[in-house]
Amino acid sequence: MLHDAARRADPEMMTDGPLSLADAAFRLHPSGALFWPEEQALVVADLHFEKGSSFARHGVMLPPYDTAVTLDLLADVIAFYRPKIVVALGDSFHDRAAPDRLPEPYRERLAALQAGREWIWIAGNHDPDVPEGFGGDVYAEVACGDIVFRHEPALGAHPGEIAGHLHPAARIRVRGRSLRRRCFVTDGTRLVLPAFGVYTGGLNVCDRAFEPVVPRHLMAAHLLGRDRVYAVAGCDLHPD
Amino acid sequence: MNADPLEPDLPEVFRRWFETRGWQPRAHQLDLLARARAGRSVLLIAPTGAGKTLAGFLPSLTDLAAAAAMRKKPGAPARGPHTLYISPLKALAVDIARNLEAPVAEMGLPITLETRTGDTPQHKRRRQTLSPPDILLTTPEQVSLLLAYRDARRFFANLSTVIVDELHALTTVKRGDLLSLGIARLRAHSPDLRTIGLSATVAAPDDLRAWLVAQQAGAPPQLADLIEVAGGAKPDIEILKSDERIPWAGHSARYALPDVYRAVKAHGMALIFVNTRSQAEAVFQELWRINEDGLPIALHHGSLDVGRRRKVEEAMTAGALRAVVCTSTLDLGIDWGDVDLVVHVGAPKGASRLAQRIGRANHRLDEPSKALLVPANRFEVLECQAALDANYVGAQDTPAARPGALDVLAQHVLGMAVAAPFSDEALYHEVTSAAPYAGLDRATFSRVVDFVATGGYALGTYERFARIRRTREGLWRVANPKVAQQYRLNVGTIVEAPMLKVRLSSRKRGGTIGRGGRVLGEIEEAFIESLSPGDTFLFAGEVLRFEALREAEALVSRATAETPKIPAYAGGKFPLSTYLADSVRAMLADPDAWERLPEAVRDWLLLQRDTSLLPRRDSLLVETFPRAGRFYMVAYPFEGRLAHQTLGMLLTRRLERIGARPLGFVASDYALSVWALSDLGARFKAGRPSLDELFDEDMLGDDLEAWMAESYLLKRTFRACAVIAGLIERRFPGKEKSGRQVTVSSDLIYDVLRSHEPDHILLQATWADAARGLLDIHRLGELLSRIKGRIMLSDSDRVTPLAMPVMLEIGRESISGAADEALLMEAAASLEREALTRDGTEGEAERDAP
């Protein structure tokens, strides 16, 4: 098994890549965030705050620093783009009780990140109702022109859908070596973002869960490298 | 039959049994009996064939025979076992039980004996706990499981003797750490417990003697008694003399297999040892290709399905085989019938290992074992010769004892909480009575207990989820029954690379793959990942075609008459032992010693002497030369592949920093080659940097730290520690498929922990493991200090004779972890090319990509 390398690279060294969708132009950031320059909006999916403590509830004592690291990464990418709007595409909290477990210092950091900008929580299946006291507004989905933000990709969605939920990851094979990375995945009309949370795993884009969303023959995956994203065609991707 | 002064000690029924078989109890058997009767713990070191096993069991058998006369009132409550026999191998426990049943039956002793291993069915295990046998033959993991039962104290109250077989194979590994803790607990249950250790010859017997008995804080080491039986007849070992040309490099020894085949034909039953499972497959395949007489030759290695292995073992015992190609799975003392030749393909990597493997031939003490060493390449010729010299002088290079691992301790602490509530004080006292943990300080112990309770994080947020909690009386107890269940599923210290079952299926018909044939064995997931459907590989002695991956199983079909890719799975790569490395260096430096070497090897060394320099025993030879537009340096430390790999990583880092533009490196057991875009020879001569600077010991400081942060080797070590310590759960086949999004990868945990709590106890355990194991930092440190100020440079205009073997390794060994970004770049480039050749808008966005 090959997994993502240490994720917190030097933000100064990172460069983003272009993507167009329904006539809108976006930037794909190697952290896994999406930026929409026209609207000054930053989009992140599947933050899964407090996943570590969720495991601890079941006796698996993962290091309790995942929320801190995820917030660090989020702060880096917010500093990079200075967006006016942040959209969290659902599953921002790992489970319904996660907001209660969120330690006070992290609450404050989150509030600091929200200060001076609009913050939109899209409801996810892990967090169908983001509780009061976390700032921002909660929506089931948000549309902006032809672009629609929702948590779970919808069946038969129109072009312009931007979603999360699936945690896409892709495997490439070069010179006898195999490498698996989180990725953005698109068919040119809709886009699925990689999970942003530090403890989140990835589902291979060759899995049949992706079939109705992004057909393989039209698929392009943008793999997250250390400081840039790498675009790879669907036909060059391998199942696990 | 001569009367021995000690013989009256032996009960009548035993004496008669010896007599009817025409045997006489051996002196060491009676000696051990006398000491055990006096309540002493004993280490018995004896060569194979000395009646070691019988010696170990005699005290228990005589005890039980005497007791049997007095007990067995009908309706008496079942008592716990009298004797635990613990072996590192399941198969060995089964084999010993079989061998023991015969004398017990022949003497008509009313003694019950049973095995209990991972293969024992659940209903039988349950029955065994209710109605235990007198003698229970089992493995270290089962001892831990038994000790975690609520009524362990009652179950073991009657225990009098623990016999640990093949002790030398346990004391230097984590399984031994776990067992030492288990024995400490057994001693608490049964204070008069005596232990008997059975071992092959080792370098430091006192380590094993201390391991067998309770240690006391602050006191000098307590030692078990020692009985040492002198070696039997000197083995008859030869290095294969082949008329074929010995290759420069490679490990297949293919050139010599016709000679090996002739040797097999000339003997009754041969064991053919190889160092890795992939070698086993390759040698087996090749032998069958030339097996014109259709001799029954079998294959035995750890990846094969258990059923297949048992069949081979049975056929061996029945004498139905002429040869078995095997790996270390057959290393340990199983008596597999009449082996009269041991062939060792490839270099043995350690003098002690060679001696033990050779001991497999001919289980009669007074006849010499016969062995044939088959070097696969020229350096191995030197190594075989060194090992042969060592075996004659009886040199021992078994590894030294080291402190017990903390991840193992964590597992044990949880097990003890599952068994019964414990107090810090009592458990600390008990744990430090086990030799590997005798030096454990109280603070570290407390950190381990905290780790078990809540993960031991500085940010104490998990208090309310604690797995073990302190009661009002100050005793630690498990928080809920689920914790006990988790413990039972995760017991043990063997963490294999994730494995996939290999299942035979019918060939593709119209795009579908037939379901279900039988399972051939298991293979590393990483290897399967490197295959594409249609690729062929060698496994279980057959050429197989990879068809598909389905629910954690690799479906394969039979493919004949094709050239297979050979499995590159990692099983059993041993690094060259320090002792042999030194002997090889000594031999190279002494042309008089070359007389014994084959002519081709001698000529090779002479050529090296005439065109470059010879490595010396106490210095390091570095050669530089250009080739095909690149500049190479080859160093010859002879410190084993692991230490060389670490050295290679550190050297390239250093060269990179000073702008020498290194491109890569490759390491073998003997040498290390680094190549670069700048002229390394010219740089070293000009002192930019000097070789002394390049090889300075300070590379073990910051460079090592920085490299380790990213090293995949360390992540692999961390995963093993995290599984053993119970931080993450073992992966069970079939369970992980659905879990990609659910489970958290150990690499991510490692990264988070390292950045937020670098002093965490698990990182401490990981570092200790890596320094000894995968990175071999200890040995690298010794090398760097040995060669300080003693580096010889030989700058040539072409590849030197000595450099040939390692140069041929380039391209065979992949350089792991070095170039992930470069691989991504390459994959992306292929899309960019495609985008440029495609018209329309689809590729439009990509064209802008940098």
> Looking at B283-287, B407-411, B713-717, B818-822, which range is the least confident one?
B818-822
* Dist CA B171 CA B399 (whole Å): 9
Question: How confident is the model at residue B733, as a pLDDT?
Answer: 41
Does residue B8 or residue B84 have the better pLDDT? B84
Q: What is the DSSP secondary-structure string of chain A?
A: ------S---GGG---EEEEETTEEEEE-TTS-EEEGGGTEEEEB---BTHHHHHHHTT----TTHHHHHHHHHHHHHHHH--SEEEE-S--BSSTTHHHHS-HHHHHHHHHHHTTSEEEEEP-SS-SSPPTTS-SEEESEEEETTEEEESSPPTTPPTTEEE-SS-EEEEEEETTEEEEEEEEEE-SS-EEPPB-STT---EETTSGGGTTTS-GGG-EEEEE-SSSEEEEEGGG-B--
Find the CATH number of the domain harbouring B82: 3.40.50.300
Please write the tens of the pLDDT for every residue from B341-371.
889 888 777 777 777 777 666 555 556 778 8
Buried b (16+ CB within 10 A) or exposed e, B51-87: bbbbbbbbbbbbbbbebeeeeeeeeeeebbbbbbbbb
**Domain count for chain A:** 1
Q: Are strands B630-635 and B225-228 parallel, antiparallel or unpaired?
A: unpaired
Query: Which pLDDT does position B529 carry in this prediction?
Result: 65
Q: How far apart are CA A93 and CA A99, in angstroms?
A: 7
B165-200 confidence digits (pLDDT tens): 989 888 888 999 999 999 999 999 999 999 999 998
**Residue B484 buriedness (CB in 10 A; 0-12 / 13-18 / 19+):** buried
In eight-state DSSP terms, residue B186 is: H
The answer to whether residue B292 scores a pLDDT higher than 80 is: yes
Q: What is the pLDDT of residue A38?
A: 95
Chain B contact set for A63 (CB, 8 A): 455, 457, 749, 752-753, 756-757, 760
Closest partner CB to A60 (pick from B461, B728, B821): B728
- Contact between B549 and B528 under an 8 Å Cβ cutoff? The reply is yes
State the average pLDDT for chain B: 82
Judged against a pLDDT cut of 90, whether residue B223 lies above it is answered with: yes
Nearest CB among A65, A202, A231 relative to B740 is that of: A202
User: Could you tell me if B804 and B837 lie in one domain?
Assistant: no
Residue, of B846 and B571, whose pLDDT is higher: B571
- A186: domain range? 11-234
Residue whose C-alpha is closest to residue B661's, from B682, B683, B685, B677 = B677
Q: Could you please report the per-residue DSSP string of B517-560?
A: EEEEEEEEHHHHHT--TT-EEEETTEEEEEEEEETTEEEEEE--
B465–A65: do the CB atoms touch at under 8 Å? Answer: no
Q: Binning pLDDT at 50, 70 and 90, where does residue B337 land?
A: low
Name the CA dihedral angle for B409, B414, B420, B422, rounded to a multiple of 10 degrees: 60
The CA distance from A204 to B75, in Å, is 62
Look at residue B404 and tell me if it is in a domain.
Answer: no
Burial of B93-131, coded b for 16+ CB within 10 Å and e otherwise, reads bbbbbeebeebbeebebebebbbbbeebeeeeeeebeee
Query: Which has the minimum average pLDDT: A70-74, B265-269, B682-686, B736-740?
Result: B736-740
pLDDT at B69 over 80: no
Structure tokens of B509? 């018909």
The lowest-confidence range among A62-66, A94-98, B310-314 is B310-314
Whether A3 is covered by a domain: the verdict is no
A227 and A77 Cβ atoms separated by less than 8 Å? no
Helices B378-393 and B599-611: angle between axes, nearest 10 degrees: 110
pLDDT computed for residue A47 by the predictor? 95
Instruction: Tell me the average pLDDT of chain A.
Output: 89
CA distances from B506 to B288, B455, B528, B546, B559 (A): 24, 48, 19, 11, 11
Site from A62, A71, A186, A227 to mutate, B interface, most B CB atoms within 10 angstroms = A62
Q: Residue for token digits 């200060």?
A: A115
pLDDT of residue B447: 96
Angle at B82 between CA B78 and CA B85, to 5 degrees: 125
Q: What is the pLDDT of residue B831?
A: 56
Q: Considering B179, B194, B228, which residue would you say is the last residue of a domain?
A: B228
Order the strands of the B499-505 sheet from edge to edge.
B516-524, B499-505, B553-558, B542-550, B536-539
| Rounded Cα gap, residues B71 and A15, in angstroms | 82
Q: How many CB atoms lie within 10 A of CB B439?
A: 12
For residue A81, what are the CA distances in angstroms to A33, A110, A136, A226, B466? 10, 17, 19, 18, 41
Residue B210 has pLDDT above 70, yes or no: yes
Phi, psi of B460 (to 5 degrees): -80, 60
Mutate to test the interface with B, among A95, A177, A206, A229 (most CBs of B within 10 A): A177
Q: Would strands B499-505 and B553-558 be described as parallel, antiparallel, or unpaired?
A: parallel
**φ, ψ dihedrals at A222, nearest 5°:** -110, 100
| Residues of A with Cβ-Cβ distance to B462 under 8 angstroms | 53, 56, 61, 64
Which segment, B38-47, B82-91, B725-734, is predicted with the most confidence on average?
B38-47
For residue A4, is it within any domain? no
pLDDT digits (tens, 9 = 90+) for B232-273: 667 788 888 888 888 887 777 888 999 999 999 999 889 898
Q: Given the structure tokens 């007599």, which residue do they identify?
A: B19
- Tens digits of per-residue pLDDT, A145-173? 999 999 999 988 889 999 999 999 998 87
Q: Binning pLDDT at 50, 70 and 90, where does residue B565 land?
A: low
Kindly list the residues from chain A whose CB atom is less than 8 angstroms away from the CB atom of residue B549: 239-240
What's the mean pLDDT in B773-802?
Answer: 88
Residues composing chain B: 850
Residue B477 maps to a domain: no
Cβ neighbourhood burial of B568 (10 Å; 0-12, 13-18, 19+): middle
* Final residue belonging to a domain, choices B534, B558, B582: B558
The answer to whether residue B399 sits within a structural domain is: no
Is there a single domain that holds both residue B188 and residue B254? no
Closest-approach residue (CA) in chain A for B485: A59
**What residues have CB less than 8 Å from B376, skipping those under 6 apart?**
B247, B250, B251, B252, B253, B256, B345, B346, B347
- Asked if residue B836 and residue B806 are part of one domain, the reply reads no
Percent of chain A whose predicted confidence (pLDDT) is above 90: 61
Residue A57 near chain B (CB below 8 Å): yes
User: Cβ(B172)–Cβ(B399) under 8 Å?
Assistant: yes
Which percentage of chain B shows pLDDT scores above 90? 36
Query: Does residue A239 lie within any of the structural domains?
Result: no
User: What pLDDT sits at residue B351?
Assistant: 74
**B807 and B839 assigned to the same domain:** no
In angstroms, the Cα distances linking A96 to A109, A164, B215, B284, B491 are 20, 18, 52, 58, 33
Q: How are beta strands A220-224 and A177-186 bridged, if at all?
A: antiparallel
Coil, helix or strand at residue B422: strand
Q: What is the DSSP string of B613-631?
A: ----SSSEEEEEEEETTEE
pLDDT of residue B71: 61
Residue B88 confidence (pLDDT) = 83
Q: What pLDDT, on a 0 to 100 scale, did the predictor assign at position B76? A: 56
Phi–psi pair at B676, nearest 5 degrees: -145, 170
The predicted structure's pLDDT at residue B617: 85
Size of interface A-B (CB pairs under 8 A): 173
A-chain residues near B451 (CB < 8 A): 61
Residue with tokens 């071999």: B776
Across B616-638, average pLDDT? 91
More confident residue, B448 or B560: B448
Residue A1 falls inside a structural domain: no
Asked whether residue B66 falls in the same domain as residue B28, the answer is yes
Q: Is residue B476 part of a domain?
A: no
> Is position A120 within any domain?
yes
Considering B193, B228, B263, which residue would you say is the last residue of a domain? B228
Residue B481 inside a domain? The answer is: no
Q: In the predicted model, is pLDDT for residue B815 greater than 70?
A: no
**Of A27-41, B54-68, B233-247, where does mean pLDDT reach its minimum?**
B233-247
B603-B606-B608-B612 Cα dihedral, nearest 10 degrees: -160
Check whether residue B765 and residue B746 sit in a common domain: yes
**Residue A130, pLDDT score:** 73
Question: What does DSSP say about strands B270-273 and B341-345: parallel, antiparallel, or unpaired?
Answer: parallel
A75-89, B269-283, B698-712: which is most confident: A75-89
Q: What confidence category does residue B675 fall into, taking pLDDT thresholds of 50, 70 and 90?
A: confident
A5: pLDDT strictly greater than 60 = no
The answer to whether residues B294 and B262 belong to one domain is yes
DSSP state of B775: S
Residue B488 distance to chain A (closest CA, Å) = 14
Within a domain: residue A118?
yes
In a domain, B480, yes or no: no
* Residue A108 neighbours by CB distance under 10 Å: 10
In this predicted structure, the answer to whether residue B838 has a pLDDT above a threshold of 60 is no
Q: Which residues pair with A26 in a beta bridge?
A: A19
Tell me whether A156 touches chain B (CB under 8 Å). Answer: no
> Rounded to the nearest 10 degrees, how much is the dihedral formed by the CA atoms of B345, B346, B350, B355?
20
* Cis peptide bond upstream of B77, omega within 30: no
Q: Which residue has the higher pLDDT, B231 or A210?
A: A210
Our CA dihedral for B277, B282, B288, B291, rounded to 10 degrees, sits at -110
Residue numbers of the domain that contains B549: 499-558
- pLDDT value of position A149: 96
- Partners of A225 on chain B (C-beta within 8 Å) are 821, 824
Q: Establish if A240 belongs to a structural domain.
A: no
Residue A1 to residue B525, Cβ atoms within 8 A: yes
Q: Is A2 a member of any domain? A: no
DSSP string, B223-284: --EEEEPPP-SPPEEEE---SSPPPSS-S--GGGHHHHHHHHHTSS-EEEE-SSHHHHHHHH
Residue A4 has pLDDT above 50, yes or no: no
Structural domains of chain B, count: 5
B442 assigned to some structural domain: no
CA distances from B331 to A124, B88, B103, B165, B342 (A): 56, 11, 25, 13, 11
Q: State mean pLDDT over B359-387.
A: 77
| B40-54, B160-174, B212-226, B522-536: the lowest-pLDDT one | B522-536
Across the interface, whether the CB atoms of A57 and B459 are under 8 A apart is answered: no
> What tokens does B184 get?
């400490």
What CATH number is attached to the domain comprising A143? Answer: 3.60.21
Q: How far is CA B621 from CA A240, B317, B380, B578, in A?
A: 45, 50, 19, 18
B661: left (phi over 0), alpha (psi -120 to 50) or beta: left
Q: Is the pLDDT of residue B741 over 60?
A: no
Q: CA B135, B141, B144 angle in degrees (round to 5)?
A: 80
Cβ B756 vs Cβ B750: under 8 Å: no
B90 lies in some domain = yes
Q: Which of the residue ranges A199-203, B391-395, B414-418, B709-713 has the most confident prediction, judged by mean pLDDT?
A: B414-418
Q: Judge: B831–A220 Cβ closer than 8 Å, yes or no.
A: yes
